[in-house]
Structure 1
Amino acid sequence: MGEDIGLWGVPLAIIGGAIRVSTPFLFVSLGECLTERSGRINLGLEGTLVFGAMSAYAIAYETGSPWLGVLAAMIAGTIFGLLHGWICSLPKVNDIAIGIALMLFGMGLAFFFGKSFIQPVAPDLPAISFGFWSDYPQVQAALKVNILFLIGIAASLGLWWMLRNTKIGLRIRVVGDSTDAARAMGLRPNVVKLLSTAAGGAFAGVGGAYLSLYYPGSWNEGISSGQGLMAVALVIFARWNPIYCFWAALLFGGAGALGPALQSVGVTQGYYLFYAAPYVLTLVVMIFTSSAAKTMTGAPAELSITK
């Protein structure tokens, strides 16, 4: 990329890469944020992400419609969320252990059913070019934005508004802070957590659809690269705020785009080390937020990580 405009190719590549790479982070983190605000942690979203990617690709290939693929991924994510929520509502069940089990279950199912869809080519999701005004192909490529990214921005604002200003949001926050207080208000904590976990799974499924139907735009068994797990760190970093989740997703996306950006301007030695930037960032975030000197500001009191 940067042969025509020199070093300007690096920030352009990072901007474009941040937009592309951040979208699955955004959807999974919004799903995890909603789930955790209800007082439940779901480590199974990695499996949901992968299964959503496979479901979206398979349905898009069979029907010729990428939007039906997104719908299929959303339904699959909802089912996984309902399964996780139902199991976790049983007595003496650990949320984290169930999440890990369902992560492996979802990935195993995706690999099993997805083997026949590795070679076929499914239709891509549409994108909008905001760089039409420029004659530089680098600018046009950097500002080519998938519609799901724009939907993710709207979802961040909508989720933030819902949690702050609606009865549904109040119920989710009350359940996440104290099940005893929720019961005193006449709420059913298990039902609220179940529905929140299901909605969180739907968000993760959409993130998977983006991976297989736009970027990288194919189905294979290594498609997620751990983004579902990294989203848990992202939510902690964002202090359980959906709008902060958007900015944190852009940060993680920019870190993921650093390696390809350096490669695009001819950096051939050691550039591959920068591909590890998202994982290093995840480690730094977890160490920083786990420090005894730091408080879990904004964390729902019923979360396992706060007890």
Structure 2
Amino acid sequence: MGDDPGLMTVLLAMFAGAIRVSTPFLFVSLGEMLTEKSGRINLGLEGTLVFGAMSGYAISYHTGSPWLGVLVAGLCGSLFGALHGYLCKLPKVNDIAIGIAMMLFGTGLAFFFGKPYIQPSAPRLPSISFGTWSDHPAVRQALEINPLFLLGIALAIFLWWALKNTRYGLIIRTTGDSAPAALALGIHVDRVRLLSTMAGGFFAGIGGSFLSLYYPGSWTEGLSSGQGLMAVALVIFARWNPIYCFWAALLFGAAGALGPALQSIGISRGYHFFNAAPYILTLLIMIASTSPRRSLKGAPGELSITK
């Protein structure tokens, strides 16, 4: 690697880019995974992600505290999740249709309220430097890691443990696998799904705040690029497992970092094709998911896609 600085630059850029790009994917996919574990699909997380980005940026701009912006973005996500959960418990309501409506509602609200924040600059989230030991500038830059990425790793591990080993995890899994069985055990199905959807919205809101407050680090209307929708494919790819969600998010992040990494060493031919890598990966995953025997292994039984 030392004999080929171009290759080293690409690998370091992809490593750093994978961490940056994967962080929103990680939070949104963990939120969608938790929601789906309770037996509900929330396609509205795209709108939650965008509104979280806008609200987090606005709060950071007005208060000077990006971490307060992250918290508010998560709380806004919970409100969207609460609205989604309430509408979905009404009779003869389809959760996929409600999710699409919530996606349009969230993005529309974000664009409306976010107009004044397109130009102003808000304080950004700090990063932790793990590369102070190196004299190589590219290594030091690659090892500038945002705390939210580390929080996402901890959250994935915690959710994996909690769903397997705690009473609350058992309640969520039972609700998602069989509503009649949950009712027979005295579990309030609608309440479990409402709280799970709110928690999923909270995670998605945090993922949105990362976009506006760290990378790319500004508020624009095209900030999300469909990451909330791609997270649904990511959850299927990860087989509804929080640890697999982390690795799948890194894979999507590396795919998204491929184009900029190649451009950093002067390879611009096919740049737009490489920028489309995450969308191509999503398409391939959805094509591979057309076989219920393979794609829906591990899926909660109450999801509408399994019926």
How much has 1:293 moved relative to structure 2?
5.3
State the SS of the aligned residue for 1:112: helix
State the SS of the aligned residue for 1:91: coil
State the SS of the aligned residue for 1:19: helix
Separation in 1 of the partners of 2:249 and 2:43?
Answer: 18
Separation in 2 of the partners of 1:243 and 1:292?
Answer: 22
Contact 2:50 2:106 in 1 (8 A): yes
State the SS of the aligned residue for 1:93: coil
Separation in 2 of the partners of 1:143 and 1:263?
Answer: 20
Contact 2:89 2:190 in 1 (8 A): yes
Separation in 2 of the partners of 1:267 and 1:138?
Answer: 18
Paired residues for 1:1-307 under 5 Å: 5-291=5-291, 294-307=294-307
State the SS of the aligned residue for 2:276: helix
Moved more, 268-277 or 20-29: 268-277
State the SS of the aligned residue for 1:294: helix
CA RMSD of aligned residues (A): 1.1
Contact 2:237 2:295 in 1 (8 A): no
Output the amino acid matched with 1:149: F
Separation in 1 of the partners of 2:7 and 2:49?
Answer: 35
How much has 1:291 moved relative to structure 2?
2.2
Taking structure 2 as the reference length, what is the TM-score of the superposition? 0.98
Aligned length: 305
How much has 1:271 moved relative to structure 2?
1.9
Taking structure 1 as the reference length, what is the TM-score of the superposition? 0.98
Separation in 1 of the partners of 2:217 and 2:290?
Answer: 35
Separation in 2 of the partners of 1:295 and 1:142?
Answer: 35
State the SS of the aligned residue for 1:290: coil
Separation in 1 of the partners of 2:198 and 2:105?
Answer: 17
Separation in 1 of the partners of 2:59 and 2:19?
Answer: 25
Change (3 A) 1:280 1:295: closer
State the SS of the aligned residue for 1:298: coil
Output the amino acid matched with 1:179: A
Output the amino acid matched with 1:74: G
Separation in 2 of the partners of 1:48 and 1:295?
Answer: 26
Contact 2:52 2:74 in 1 (8 A): yes
How much has 1:268 moved relative to structure 2?
1.8
How much has 1:132 moved relative to structure 2?
1.2
Identity %: 71
Contact 2:38 2:172 in 1 (8 A): yes
